[in-house]
Structure 1
Amino acid sequence: MTTPHDLIGPQPRPSDEELAAMPTVRIPWQRPLPRKAPRPGAPLVVAALINTGWATLISVSAMILLVLTARFTLGQKPNGAEVTVALAGWLLAHGAPLTAPIGKLAVAPLAVTLLAAWRLSRAGVHTARGIGARGSGSVLTAAYVAGAIGIVYGVIGFAVGLVVDRPGLAVTPWRAGLHLLVVGAAAAFIGSLRITGAVRTIARATPQLFRDAIRTGVVGALMVLGAGAGLCGLAVALNGSDALELFRAFPSGVAGQAGVTMVCLAFAPNFAVWASAYLLGPGFVIGSGTVVRAGGVVIGEMPPLPVLAGIPHAPLDNVLSSMLAVPLLLGSVAGFLLVRRRLRPRRTRAGDTVLPTPNWWRMLGSAAVAGPVAGLVIGAMTLAGSGRLDGGKPFPVGAVAWQTALSAAVAIGLGAVLAVAAACGRRWISDRPH
């Protein structure tokens, strides 16, 4: 039987140029495969209990390690009381004051605080994922997750307060529970917002002026805090001989030196915040009668920590006083990043590159609002990293939150506005016909 193929005969293979010139064959759209029903997530209570318990275990273990190292610093052997002291310090890291034999303590070690907040944020991520809310975009679901973690964390704090509260080491259990509830809910809310995609939901409902202001203000605040940390490290390095003498003066040899190092690391974020307050102008106080400002320094009795060797003993001279312009410059950098982001070329869905039309008034408004945003961030960090001690007579330790926040708002906001105005003037000059 003769087939059509036999009548036509064999055809020569097309060349590569002919294949390239042939029209592309479009495959018709096919029906999508039916999606499998999503697996039911775990109950919210169970997920919150497991993830909050794990976050608590990590931060408490870090505090126990810190207390054990401190005991070795003093040349003492472990006697079983380290767990109680560590739990009390863990509550202190969440802002719950306690009364010890040396007096009332109300200064949180921010390194432990940040560790606990990070683990609580991860607990919010894992809990939202565990209940099947990943990518749901629901702000309400994120709030439920944060509330559940906050309640569990508050109950843990109340129970720990009951265990720690004893003669010689007093803690108010209900206050400890309240502090942990607030910290736990706030940190978990950040994580649950991110994993559920509710951040995009909130961003779509927020005007662009405020979106840019929040981002610019947070960036400016973080840069100022980073500058404070750099200033603290530079001051200790410049006074290395004094710091080394204090470091070697601790008992127990290597163990004592390791212990004081751990204590300095636990309070390292506090020192960075205080140095930021010094750069911003209000300054800080530490110890009995020690006041440190750019315009004047009064040195009194201080704890023998090597990091405190970097505290200046005299006001800044004319050259070093230029450091006070650092927050203004960093605010200008944040404003420049805002302009750069808004003028960045964008791609359309068709693949074309489009230069956006700048809205300078909106950018100026964002830069102005970025100042108060940065002030709130730095003020919150200052409030968390400062407090009062009562070793016979009460005295503050750290910086005044509202003064630091106000100075940060003015410096960063002014710097950002100047940067946007300069970019606007430069664009206006370049666009003028010559």
Structure 2
Amino acid sequence: MTARRPPSSLLTLLTRMRGPSPGLGSSLLGGVLAAGLGLASFAVLVMVMWISSPYPDSGPGGALHVAAALWLLAHGAELVRTDTLSGVPAPVGVTPLLLLALPMWLLHRAARDAVYGGKEDAPLVGVRTAWAGVVVGYLAVGVGAAVHAAGGVLRPSWGWTAVCLPVVAVTAAGAGVWTAYGRPRGPGGGALLVLPRWARQLVLGAQGPEWAGAGARAAAAGAAVLVGGGALLVGVSSLWHLWVAREAFLHLTEGWSGRFAVMLLCAALVPNAAVWGASYALGPGFVLGAGHVVGPLASDPAPLLPPFPLLAAVPEAGAGGPWNWAAGAVPVAAGVALGAFVGRVSVRRSPWWAVGVVLLAALLCGGLMGVLGELAGGPLGVAALARFGPVGWQVGLAAAAWAVAVGVPAVLAVRGWLRRRPAGAEREGVVPVPLPAPVQAPPEDDFGSEPYDFARVEAEEATKAVWYRDEARETRWAVLREAADHGKANEGQANEGQGNEGEGNEGEGNEGQGNDAKTPDGDGGQGGGEPREREPGSR
């Protein structure tokens, strides 16, 4: 079963324009629409910057070329800058990760809506149809954008464009289709369907999606703690070097439009800075110029760095001290979080199962951090600027090593603590209360109420349970005996006043004589019209 969601208004409009039967056509239009919206967003931003600039270098055509080039850069493609002082083309390969979020979200939304077909009552479109349609439509616009950007000063690298653009489209569209179908096979098993059967059995083992799902969730938790800890390190260092960052921001440009552009660039590079901080905490650090590495043990930034506010957070050159070594708390926290996630789901499993999941989570976490490290860095020129940022494979290996070293003891500790907690919770004087048996729902004709209305049934069951208890029955018999004795006393007083004992009581309803024959013990009771009840303990 999959939850149906109403399609977006734009896709519904396109479907009505095309025809009543959704399918491959609506998926193609969804991909084209996603690419068009992304390009339009970048074009609006660049045109605003161009209009507000007091000394633009080119006309509106050049601004549109730059917008198309930035849209390709957001997908991870490398650009080549041709207007350099030396005349040698300089590569630009640092992808602002915040810009990557826009095309990913648009593709995800387009693929999800393509599955729904543009109408609420329409049948779901096939997986391959929706996925292929969105990808083909998106790539068709992407090829046109690359051709258009090739005529500007920032030209796309065709090799990087041919690799990065399809990878982003295929991944985001596949995630959207998977979401539309209710995320089947768990978070890990569905992603391994591309592998052969023997490879899936080797990776997943006998537990299948449960094993892979637990590992994927733990890996995501560990990566999130690493990136969050890196962002915290960057924020603390930026506050410590706040005066240096302010001077770099003011001297980089003078006009308000230029400062606004620098502020937007800094905001787009904040996720990159968080990944750089995570790489610093893991140990490999990051590269600031060819041959210059900045890490917690030693810092050696390039001597002629351009003034930029985010670079003000880089530690000073020299050997690291205790404050630099304290960054190691970030990977320790990530390993503990990874182990805690696995420990919660492995309480009723064997220790080897838990350790195996930790190893899988460490592998996935290392791969994810390696990809993020590779995307967060890249070249910004030639010679000394040929490499900026973390080295992907080093970050991945360090993250996997920290996850195994900290995650295995953490999962065993969490698992042992959770297994001992139920036994320690049973203290003296604490008696477990059994839960009442579930009450079935009464039929609608019995009470005239809606189905699944248990309030009246529960009230009657509670009343019956109290009425037939021995304590309640003994209390009722005591009240009946007291009433019978009181009736006998009133009867004697009335007979003495009239001087006639035993006569005249038949017409007036002598309760004492009538009840002597009806009560089991011969004592007086209530009138004969009341129902008789057995005394507690009698058979």
Q: Out of 379, 383, 387, which is 1:388 matched to?
A: 379
Change (3 A) 1:230 1:136: farther
Q: Out of 317, 320, 333, which is 2:321 matched to?
A: 317
Q: Provide the secondary structure at the position in 2 that maps to 1:249.
A: helix
Q: Provide the secondary structure at the position in 2 that maps to 1:285.
A: strand
Q: What residue number does 1:148 align with? A: 133
Consecutive unaligned residues of structure 2, counting only runs of 5 or more, are 1-18, 85-89, 191-207, 428-539
One-letter amino acid matched to 2:332 = L
Q: What residue number does 1:76 align with? A: 55
Contact 1:142 1:192 survives alignment (8 Å): yes
Contact 1:213 1:369 survives alignment (8 Å): yes
Q: What residue number does 2:354 align with? A: 363
Contact 2:282 2:328 survives alignment (8 Å): yes
Task: Give distance in 1, aligned partners of 2:333 and 2:164.
Answer: 36
Matches within 5 A, 1:323-402: 323-341=327-345, 357-391=348-382, 395-402=386-393
Larger Rg: 2
Q: Out of 33, 36, 41, which is 1:54 matched to?
A: 33
Q: Provide the secondary structure at the position in 2 that maps to 1:170.
A: strand
Consecutive unaligned residues of structure 1, counting only runs of 5 or more, are 1-39, 344-356
Task: Give distance in 1, aligned partners of 2:187 and 2:252.
Answer: 52
Q: Provide the secondary structure at the position in 2 that maps to 1:104.
A: strand
1:160 matched to 2:151? The reply is no
> Following TM superposition, by how much is the alpha carbon of 1:243 offset from its aligned partner in structure 2, in angstroms?
0.6
One-letter amino acid matched to 1:195 = A
Change (3 A) 1:336 1:157: same
One-letter amino acid matched to 1:389 = L
Change (3 A) 1:134 1:121: farther
Task: Give distance in 2, aligned partners of 1:232 and 1:118.
Answer: 26
Contact 1:154 1:177 survives alignment (8 Å): no
One-letter amino acid matched to 1:59 = G
Change (3 A) 1:218 1:42: farther
> Following TM superposition, by how much is the alpha carbon of 1:426 offset from its aligned partner in structure 2, in angstroms?
3.3
Task: Give distance in 2, aligned partners of 1:424 and 1:401.
Answer: 33
Q: What residue number does 1:114 align with? A: 101
Change (3 A) 1:399 1:320: closer
Task: Give distance in 1, aligned partners of 2:189 and 2:152.
Answer: 54
Deviations 1:17-38 (A, max 9, x none): xxxxxxxxxxxxxxxxxxxxxx
Q: What residue number does 1:124 align with? A: 111
Q: What residue number does 1:37 align with? A: none
Task: Give distance in 2, aligned partners of 1:91 and 1:322.
Answer: 38
Contact 2:234 2:277 survives alignment (8 Å): yes
Q: Provide the secondary structure at the position in 1 that maps to 2:322.
A: coil
**111-120 or 416-425: which moved more?**
416-425
Contact 1:124 1:145 survives alignment (8 Å): yes
Contact 2:27 2:129 survives alignment (8 Å): no
1:193 matched to 2:185? The reply is no
Task: Give distance in 1, aligned partners of 2:376 and 2:215.
Answer: 25
Q: What residue number does 2:156 align with? A: 171
Matches within 5 A, 1:294-313: 294-300=296-302, 301-313=304-316
1:412 matched to 2:414? The reply is no
**225-234 or 46-55: which moved more?**
46-55
> Following TM superposition, by how much is the alpha carbon of 1:216 offset from its aligned partner in structure 2, in angstroms?
0.5
Q: Provide the secondary structure at the position in 1 that maps to 2:386.
A: strand
Task: Give distance in 2, aligned partners of 1:227 and 1:219.
Answer: 12
Deviations 1:123-172 (A, max 9, x none): 1111112278999999xx43443332222222222111111212644335
TM-score after normalising by structure 2: 0.64
> Following TM superposition, by how much is the alpha carbon of 1:64 offset from its aligned partner in structure 2, in angstroms?
3.0
Q: Out of 68, 72, 85, which is 1:87 matched to?
A: 68
Q: What residue number does 1:231 align with? A: 233
One-letter amino acid matched to 2:71 = W
> Following TM superposition, by how much is the alpha carbon of 1:185 offset from its aligned partner in structure 2, in angstroms?
1.1
Q: Provide the secondary structure at the position in 2 that maps to 1:387.
A: coil
Superposition RMSD on alpha carbons, in Å? 3.2
One-letter amino acid matched to 1:304 = P
Task: Give distance in 1, aligned partners of 2:356 and 2:140.
Answer: 43
Change (3 A) 1:254 1:319: same
> Following TM superposition, by how much is the alpha carbon of 1:203 offset from its aligned partner in structure 2, in angstroms?
6.2
Change (3 A) 1:57 1:233: farther
Contact 2:189 2:213 survives alignment (8 Å): no
Task: Give distance in 2, aligned partners of 1:172 and 1:330.
Answer: 36
Q: Provide the secondary structure at the position in 1 that maps to 2:252.
A: coil
TM-score after normalising by structure 1: 0.78
Percent of residue pairs identical: 26
Change (3 A) 1:394 1:310: closer
Task: Give distance in 1, aligned partners of 2:278 and 2:355.
Answer: 25
Task: Give distance in 1, aligned partners of 2:55 and 2:331.
Answer: 44
Task: Give distance in 1, aligned partners of 2:119 and 2:352.
Answer: 43
